[in-house]
Structure 1
Amino acid sequence: MKRKYPVRFISTASLGSALLLALSATPSPAADSTWTGANSTVYNDIANWTNGVPGSFDLAIFSGTTTANQPYLSTGADIGGIQFLTETGGWTLDSDGSIITLGNKGINTTGQTSGTNTIDAPIRMNMGQGQQAWTVTSGSTLVLQRTLYDVSTNVNSRLTVDGNGTVVFQTTNTFVSQLLLNGNTTTLSLEADGALGTGELILNGGIINSVGARTLTNSSIRLIGNVSFTGSNLTTNADVRIAYAGGALRTLTIENNTTINGVISDYTGDAAGFNKQGAGTLTLGGANTYTAGTSVSDGTLIVNGDQSAASGDFVVLSGATLGGSGIIGGNTSIAGILTPGNSAGTLTFVDNVTLESTAEVNIEVTGASAGEYDQLAGDGANTLNLDGTLIIDNTGYTAMLGDTITILSGWDTITGSFTLIEGIDLGDGLYWDTSALATSGILKVVPEPSTSAMLIGLGALTITFIRRRRP
């Protein structure tokens, strides 16, 4: 005989109670929390927060009047983001070296108009979702005193910094994600080599400020807006790609000494170029290939690399300076100052060059042997149109009668002439003969005209005297 089991019915009310009990056991949704420092400086003390210690999806908020108990991190923190809201003050998040893991909410100083916020803890950016944004508002400064690195990166990982405030990087950083700089006055201040990581640096406006001589370690640089470089010397060996600007040139404002040793090229193949502004010096050392041209409006541009493949027009405006010992492609017009060579050296042009009436060509001469004087060189098939002023710097040169130097070489055709030449008088009765300059580019040391005439006169008197003594 089969055993019969009683049938048990569960009421709807019982099911509801069980479901409620299960839900109550589920962790509560993420909740942002504001620091009060009511109990201590310990970051992980629940009593110091309005809503408990922030979690991996939460914002850690620092607002109102800064408290005496500034947060101190002695164990790791995993948070969604950091927000500084104090309008005119500044916070310091200190640590013993414990790490902050920062989620995709990033860091922002929304509403802050002045003040400096300092994070003295390593930051590990969790880039699992690919993007992280830091917004530092105008007048606000964020100082990072320890290493910034990333985890869970993918090919689209990117840190974006904007807001027109300042971020100060005080140490070398190792993050490999892209770094995008946005905003006309958003400033990245570099106090260490490699401060901007090792990934691609994308510049869409903003300012790079070098505190002391610094070197970038980014794998590449992409210029998609106008950017300024300030402070001390800055060097990069990365290749630079310039994005198409609708037929205009991107603006590089150089207020320091910036050196680009990598190759500058067009981004996506569309013709691009740049306008060098600012009183500083930009030095190019790469085999550049960009095609929309170069304009030098202010300061100095030094070309030491072979950019014969950079085919766009090259324009140097009045008051600006072009120098170096490299090769320049594209038709060149110079209304400013031309200083070939690095000390003594040769600057070569592969297309036609026109010196405007306001041009000033400075030639340094330390000797009459090759390599001891500056040269302007052509490639054998181009034309040099002369005008303006030639200034010969003879400092350190001991002139010898008959010395000959060629300061204009390799040109198929030389037309025009300099309207003024300075530095002809070499002293000791010698001067530079410039009569062959416009035809063959040659200067020759000869006696001064008065000395030459006197020598000829003395020679004639001697001959007469000798003739008169003959029987």
Structure 2
Amino acid sequence: MNLKRYKLTSLLAAPLFLGGALHGQLYWDTNGSTAGAGTIADGTWDAAATANWTTDSAGAAATVDYTTGAITDVVFSAGADMTSAVVVISGTQALSSITIEEGDVAFSGSAFSNASSGNILFTVGDSASATFSQDLGAVNGDFNVLGSGNLSINAIRGGSYMTKSGDGTLTVNRLDGYLIVDAGKVIYTGSVGAKLKNTTVNADGTLELTGSAFDGVNRNLTLNGSFIMAAGLSQGVNYLNGAGSISGGAGASLTVQNGTFSGTITDISLIANSGAHTLADGSSMEFTIGADTVSNSISGSGTINLNGLFTFDLSGADLTEGNSWLVVDVDTLTETFGATFSIADFTESSGVWTYDFNSQLVFSEATGYLTVVPEPSTFALLAGCLGLTFVMLRRRR
């Protein structure tokens, strides 16, 4: 009875052992059987010509070529001595995952193909960096960039779902696919192409655009983290939903069509075209007021429901009498100022909002303008002058 139990246990354990072997790791190693990989570990990654790989994590075993290694989970590098590497990929290489544990690794040359059914997993360790200057091809990736690590990808074009995790930064010039930013930052430059599809930014994530990113105005942005736009950049989405934060440099604008947003918007203009968009109760939008007529605004030809909070940054405002700023373009929009709409530090009466600290500054829901009106004393003086003129004319008669 005990013998039978022993044999059954052995049979069950055997596949587990084999599975572990098949899912081992292949380590980059450019110094042969000497421990480590080499401080400067430059080399060529090809299929079967160059022996720059080892199955020994310490790097003390003899090296083999990539095909002989027969493992598609690769690590840079063996040991812990590598500080930098320039790696030229010769011919398309199939892999399941690639990990950069330490150092600065610069890749160039050919693309990747996927050795498994899922996404290729890119992992970059804390303080490490990896740069892929080539087009990685029609593959999908997940990107786990840890701590202060950095991963830079020129182009990846799989077209499906890709996820960014870890606190580090992913910079990409072109990503064809649906992006989920779970944590850390993604910087999309758009220098190679604007190909983002529907995008989700979760609470611990940041998406920063320094160039065009979305492949048209019919993509959706679900935002519960941070969304940052470079100065002067214009982008468009269909649905904008969530409770995150949107900010931008001077002249940045975001066009939206539908959805409900309950987060914060700072220093960008919002353009509502077609559809119906709602800035919900709990949302806030800040307008930076500058010289006469200079501010961000809400405009467009669509419908917008304003149920949240407006704030005016007056630190750089020119509050000369007569100056005005178009905040909401009521002539082209179909707008509604809801029951929960309010303006910070302003008091409302019949749709006219007066600044609590300067009664000359008023916002009108009817016109959409923030205006510096003449002081009441000026009105009184003008009225007095008109009255005196009338009396003098009467006396002359």
1:276 pairs, out of 201, 205, 220, with 201
Question: How far has the Cα of 1:336 moved from its partner?
Answer: 0.7
The verdict on how the C-alpha distance between 1:464 and 1:256 changes in structure 2, with shifts beyond 3 A counting, is same
The reply to whether residue 174 of structure 1 matches residue 108 of structure 2 is: yes
The verdict on how the C-alpha distance between 1:147 and 1:387 changes in structure 2, with shifts beyond 3 A counting, is same
Question: How far has the Cα of 1:99 moved from its partner?
Answer: 4.8
Alignment of 1:128-143 (within 5 A): 133-135=72-74
Alignment of 1:315-394 (within 5 A): 315-317=241-243, 319-321=244-246, 323=248, 325-341=252-268, 346-351=269-274, 352-369=276-293, 372-378=294-300, 380=301, 382-394=302-314
> In the alignment, which residue of structure 2 is the partner of 1:297?
224
Unaligned runs of 5+ in 1: 1-58, 63-70, 83-89, 243-249, 267-272
The reply to whether residue 252 of structure 1 matches residue 196 of structure 2 is: no
Alignment of 1:152-191 (within 5 A): 153-154=91-92, 157-161=93-97, 167-168=101-102, 170-178=104-112, 187-189=123-125, 191=128
The answer on whether the counterparts of 2:53 and 2:65 sit within 8 Å (CA) in structure 1 is no
> In the alignment, which residue of structure 2 is the partner of 1:314?
240
Distance 2:132 2:305 in 1: 46
Distance 1:288 1:98 in 2: 37
Query: What's the RMSD between the two structures over aligned residues?
Result: 4.8
> In the alignment, which residue of structure 2 is the partner of 1:263?
194
Structure of higher RCO (CA pairs closer than 8 Å, 6+ residues apart): 2
The verdict on how the C-alpha distance between 1:398 and 1:421 changes in structure 2, with shifts beyond 3 A counting, is same
> In the alignment, which residue of structure 2 is the partner of 1:413?
334
The answer on whether the counterparts of 1:208 and 1:230 sit within 8 Å (CA) in structure 2 is yes
Question: How far has the Cα of 1:229 moved from its partner?
Answer: 5.7
Question: How far has the Cα of 1:166 moved from its partner?
Answer: 5.2
Question: How far has the Cα of 1:302 moved from its partner?
Answer: 3.3
Distance 1:222 1:142 in 2: 37
Distance 2:85 2:47 in 1: 18
The answer on whether the counterparts of 1:125 and 1:148 sit within 8 Å (CA) in structure 2 is no
Letter of the structure 2 residue corresponding to residue 401 of structure 1: E
Alignment of 1:185-204 (within 5 A): 187-189=123-125, 191=128, 194-195=131-132, 197-200=134-137, 202-204=139-141
Question: How far has the Cα of 1:399 moved from its partner?
Answer: 1.0
Letter of the structure 1 residue corresponding to residue 165 of structure 2: S
Q: Which stretch has the larger CA shift, 330-339 or 252-261?
A: 252-261
Distance 1:470 1:354 in 2: 62
The verdict on how the C-alpha distance between 1:228 and 1:142 changes in structure 2, with shifts beyond 3 A counting, is farther
Quote the sequence identity (%): 13
Alignment of 1:45-60 (within 5 A): none
Distance 2:324 2:25 in 1: 75
Q: Aligned with 1:194: secondary structure?
A: strand
Q: Which stretch has the larger CA shift, 191-200 or 388-397?
A: 191-200
Question: How far has the Cα of 1:60 moved from its partner?
Answer: 12
Q: Aligned with 1:408: secondary structure?
A: coil
Q: Aligned with 1:368: secondary structure?
A: coil
CA deviation map 1:142-189 (0-9, x unaligned): 9573222233x25xx323316xx6534513211412176978986224
The verdict on how the C-alpha distance between 1:415 and 1:108 changes in structure 2, with shifts beyond 3 A counting, is farther
> In the alignment, which residue of structure 1 is the partner of 2:38?
94
Q: What TM-score do you get using the length of structure 1 for normalisation? A: 0.58
The reply to whether residue 146 of structure 1 matches residue 111 of structure 2 is: no
CA deviation map 1:416-470 (0-9, x unaligned): 24632126577995533212x3x332221114xxx41x44555666777885996
The answer on whether the counterparts of 1:203 and 1:227 sit within 8 Å (CA) in structure 2 is no
Q: What TM-score do you get using the length of structure 2 for normalisation? A: 0.67
Unaligned runs of 5+ in 2: 1-23, 347-353
Q: Aligned with 1:440: secondary structure?
A: coil
Distance 1:252 1:215 in 2: 15
The answer on whether the counterparts of 2:25 and 2:73 sit within 8 Å (CA) in structure 1 is no
Distance 2:39 2:387 in 1: 101
Question: How far has the Cα of 1:362 moved from its partner?
Answer: 0.5
Question: How far has the Cα of 1:393 moved from its partner?
Answer: 0.6
CA deviation map 1:195-243 (0-9, x unaligned): 46542384443413585777432364655343226335x532224223x
CA deviation map 1:301-345 (0-9, x unaligned): 43876554x54x22132x43365724434413211112252xxxx
Q: Aligned with 1:237: secondary structure?
A: strand
Alignment of 1:57-96 (within 5 A): 73=31, 92-94=36-38
Q: Aligned with 2:332: secondary structure?
A: coil
Distance 2:25 2:241 in 1: 52
The answer on whether the counterparts of 1:127 and 1:150 sit within 8 Å (CA) in structure 2 is no
The answer on whether the counterparts of 1:193 and 1:217 sit within 8 Å (CA) in structure 2 is no
Letter of the structure 1 residue corresponding to residue 104 of structure 2: Q
The answer on whether the counterparts of 1:143 and 1:168 sit within 8 Å (CA) in structure 2 is yes
